[in-house]
Structure formats: structure tokens, C-alpha cells
Amino acid sequence: MAPPGSKGFGQSPFPGGVDRGLTLESISALFPVFEQASAGAISVDAESRLTWINDSYCRLLGIEDPEAVIGRPVAEVIPTTRMPEVVRSGRPLLLDIMEYRGQQLVVMRLPVFNDAGTEVQGAVAFVLYDDLQPLTPLVSKYRRLQSDLAAAKRALAKRGARYEMADFVGASAAVLEVKRRARLAAARNTPVLLLGETGTGKEVLAQAVHASSPRAERPFVAVNVAAIPDNLLEAEFFGVAPGAYTGADKRQRQGKFQLADGGTLFLDEVGDMPGHLQAKLLRALQEGEVEPLGSNEVAPVDVRVIAATSRNLEEMVADGSFRADLYYRLNVLSIRVPTLRERLVDLGILCDTILEKLAAESGEPRAEITAEAINVLRQHDWPGNIRELRNTLEQTLALNEECSVIDVPQLLTALPAPARRGRQPGVPSAPVRPLQEAVRDAERSAIHNALTASGGNKAQAARLLGIPRSVLYEKLGRLAEMSENPDA
């Protein structure tokens, strides 16, 4: 059947007399309807060669001689077509936007089968709209949904990786060295072992390494080994096969390794891992595969492991409570995270950062802290490290309503008792300097440390400090002016 007004190739859009359905019967009834309602129509054979094109599609494509394109591969005539895909898969594309020479066409494509419905003999396509103006609201919504979906996929891939390198705050020499090693770790795919007391920011650093690595767009999955009962750890790590035990879900439950596939698995407090699980973890790291609980099949996984512990793993290896082979597997690149008492020079910037976060979380105005109060904080041992510092500042704000400035009296309402030894309340034990002077000296010290660590390379020093290079030059110029004119 040749559709009215068509340019043609025999008596049918398909060689061999294909004039029925999707299988063939239905096509003979539907074809005239679709052609009349559309802005253009074509057909191809089983090899995706153009077999027929109607007048309106010729005008749309700017084809003056239809006979010249009959028999040619459709992709040569319409480079953006998806007709070969429909012929290969046998699946229709009911609504698709096709770009052609600056035009956007809404196209429907349908495969056509043989009499038995078992073999694709070609396909037909109809241009439903050659002007998207009437569809603008629908197209805009479609594109917005596509954008939202892409954003959701990116957010899901990051799975809780909220921190970047700049979130590990500090400018002391110890912190700059930690960041240097962290950047080295980010550039490699080797396991990383973070060593340090609780509350020092090991998870922040682990997330920062992940966010700076080639795996940044893949999942970051964290698990605290010490927080999970021993009898549940294996299932938590490696997943559970359907019906593995009485009461188990009939669907497979993925473990942390499967969830982190392609990304990073953070094992916090790995020193608390029981011996029997250490052997399974070692196998997963060496072989790159896991065996779910209750299953006889192994599943390949691609996971970069970052482990952290507050315990002395070397002593545990010596007394046999931690496997030596697992320790060597994890300890490829180790980073020792300093305690807060080792980096008291960072107290000012840490307090500012914490107070800013507390204000953002509470919606209240940001509180300031005086240099005298910071000097009082320097007298404390900080066994809980940065976590304890945040708790102290949060308690101070909670106990002093409408506190816009934290000074010594407000601070002493929340500061742990050991910090008060050896001085009278309200009287700091260290000489008090103006806050502007203290900040300037801390900035000068941080820049000096960064330039020393980078061998004088200003671009590298700026990266270590987490600031743009232009800002570093500006600060160096200001410090130079102050040196020449101390009274300025």
C-alpha cells in the first residue's frame, strides 16, 4: 500500500509486500491515520535502508529529489535518527525529541514484524511535531525533571560525603602536613590508614580524601565497627543471601561492600574488629570479591578502603589481637591526625568555624569569641579533642541566653573543671593581646609554615592553606606593608 501523496518505492513502504501490522495487519489500518496527522513519515527495511519518504518529510528535511535517497542507509540521510536502534532491538520509541539542523522534532518510531511476529522487517517513523512551541511547558518540565534526576543521582552517588579538604580546618604545621599527605592519598587508589585519638576529625579527613579522588562521584559509605554487635558484623559488611537464616528477608540484602562498589568504604574503629571477620576482610581486599552470608557465590566489588582507629595497631599485632597481614594491607599510606592539644595555635580558627556552623544549624546570629576566652581554652588538655571543643562552645551558648560574645565569664559556665586549675575565675593565665593582633600573628605564622612546607612555591602554599593564589599574594603584600610600617 502506497500512502496517498507519498514518494515511493513500489507499492509498499517495505519490500516484499509488507503491508500488515506491527505485525502487518495493523500497519495498513494505522499508517494513513498517522501519516495524515504527522508532519512527516518514513520507513526503513531490516537493514535500516530508507524505503519510503512522504512529501511533507521531504520538505522538512530539504530533500528535493526523494528518489535519490531511497535505498540509502537512513543514518546517512538523517544523522541523528534512532531508526537503526529500533530495527536492532525490535522495541518502539514512542516519544523522542530529535535534533536536525537546528530544529527539534518530536518523533514516534515503531518496528514492523513479519507475519509470525518473530522477525523485524523494518520500521516506520512519524514526526508528530515540527514546532515545539505548543509543547514548551511539557518540554520545560521534562528537562527540569531530567536535571533533577541527574542531581539526585549525583547526590546519591556521594552517599554522605559532606566534607572536602577545606573542612579539615587549621593552619598549623601539623595540619598542613596532614593535608599534604591527604592529597597524596587522594591521588592514589591504595588503602589509607588514619591514626588518631577520638574526636580529632578522622571521618572528616576520610571524606575529604574521597571528595578529592577520582572516585568522588561514586558512593562514600561509612561504617563504625565498634558500634555494631559482633554477630551482625558479617551481614553488615558482606550482605545476606535470600533466606540465609530463619527470619531472613526473601530478597537479597546488600552489605556495605556492595553499597560502596566503585567508591570508598570507610571503616571507622577498625581496631575493634573481631578476629574471624579480619580474615574475611583481608580476603575481600586481596581478591576484590565478597561472599554474602548464606551464599555459595562470590560477587566482585571495586572498593577503595580508608580505615581509621584510635588504638595502637602495632601493639595489637604484637600481642596477636590484630592480624599482621591485614595491618600491612591497610597500612599502605598512613596519616597521623594530631590531637587538639598538639595544635593549640588553631584554636582561634576552629572556634570561629564551629560558632559559624552552630549559628547555621540554629538559625540564630553568629556569636563571637574574645582573645581572652581563647587563651583560657589553651589551658585545657582537651582529651575529647575537637568534639569536646564543639560541645564546650555549644554548652556555653545554651547556658548564656542571647550571648553574642563569648568572654571568660560565659566560657567558665561550660568549661570542664580541669581547665580551671591554677588560676582565678575570669583571670586568664596568659598575657592578653588585642584580638586583631592575635589573628594577624596567627595568619603570619600559618603563611610562613605553608611557604616552608612548599619550599617557597606560592601556588602550592595557597593550596595547602585552602585559599586562592590571589588571596595569598594580597595577604603577603599586607604583611610586608605592616613590617615596613609597624604602627600602621
Which among 165, 179, 258, 176 has a CA at the least distance from the CA of 216?
A: 165
How far apart CA 97 and CA 108 sit, in angstroms, is: 9
Confidence of residue 220 (pLDDT cuts 50, 70, 90): very high
Grid cell 515511493 is found at 8
DSSP lists the bridge partners of residue 34 as: none
- Helices marked H in 187-335: 202-211, 230-238, 256-259, 275-287, 313-318, 324-330
Q: What's the mean pLDDT in 118-133? A: 81
Q: CA 115 from chain center: how many Å? A: 51
* Strand boundaries in 218-258, DSSP class E: 220-224
Give 104 or 142, the one with higher predicted confidence: 104
**Poorest-pLDDT segment among 28-37, 90-99, 397-406, 410-419:** 28-37
Q: What is the DSSP string of 92-142?
A: -EEEEEEEETTEEEEEEEEEEE-TTS-SEEEEEEEEEES--GGGHHHHHHH
Residue 100: pLDDT above 80?
Answer: no
- Which range, of 65-74, 93-102, 318-327, 359-368, averages the lowest pLDDT? 93-102
Closest CA to 54 of 75, 46, 43: 43
Q: β-strands 299-300, 50-54: how paired?
A: unpaired
Instruction: Report the interhelical angle of 469-484 vs 435-453 (nearest 10°).
Output: 120
In the prediction, which pLDDT does 359 show?
Answer: 92
Q: What is the mean pLDDT of residues 203-231?
A: 91
Provide mean pLDDT across the span 43-71.
Answer: 89
Determine the number of helices (DSSP H) and then strands (DSSP E) in the chain.
19, 15
Backbone φ, ψ for residue 323 (5° rounding): -65, 130
3-state helix, strand, coil split of the chain in percent (to 5) is 45, 15, 35
Residue position matching grid coordinates 580558627 = 349
Residue 174 confidence (pLDDT):
93
Residues 6+ apart with CB under 8 A from 331: 191, 193, 313
Cβ density class 127-146: b for 16+ within 10 Å, e for less: bbbbeeeebeeebeeeeeee
Among 40-44, 154-158, 241-245, 311-315, the range with the most confident prediction by mean pLDDT is 311-315
Question: Is the per-residue pLDDT at 157 higher than 60?
Answer: no
- Residue 63 C-alpha cell reads as 530533500
* DSSP-assigned letter for residue 423: S
Q: What percent of the chain lies above the pLDDT cut of 70?
A: 78
Number of residues written out for the chain: 488
- Sort 307 into a burial class: Cβ within 10 Å, 0-12 / 13-18 / 19+: buried
Q: First and final CA of the chain: distance in angstroms?
A: 94
The pLDDT of 30-45, averaged and rounded, is 77
pLDDT at 424: 40
Beta strands 41-45 and 264-268 are unpaired
Q: Among 414, 381, 419, 421, which residue's Cα sits nearest to residue 398?
A: 414
Query: What are 299's three cell numbers?
Result: 560477587
Mean model confidence pLDDT for the chain: 81
pLDDT in tens, 292-310: 887 878 889 999 999 999 9
* C-alpha cell of residue 350: 576552629
Q: How confident is the model at residue 9 (pLDDT cuts 50, 70, 90)?
A: very low
Is the pTM higher than 0.95?
A: no
Contact between residue 412 and residue 373 where contact means Cβ atoms under 8 Å apart: no
* pLDDT, tens digit (0-9, with 9 covering 90-100), for 397-438: 988 887 889 998 888 888 766 554 434 444 444 455 565 666
Structural contact between residues 128 and 108, judged by C-beta atoms closer than 8 angstroms: yes
Residue 164 burial class via C-beta count within 10 angstroms: exposed 0-12, middle 13-18, buried 19 and up: middle
Coil, strand, or helix at residue 146?
A: helix
Q: Supply the DSSP symbol for 14.
A: B
pLDDT at 386 over 70: yes
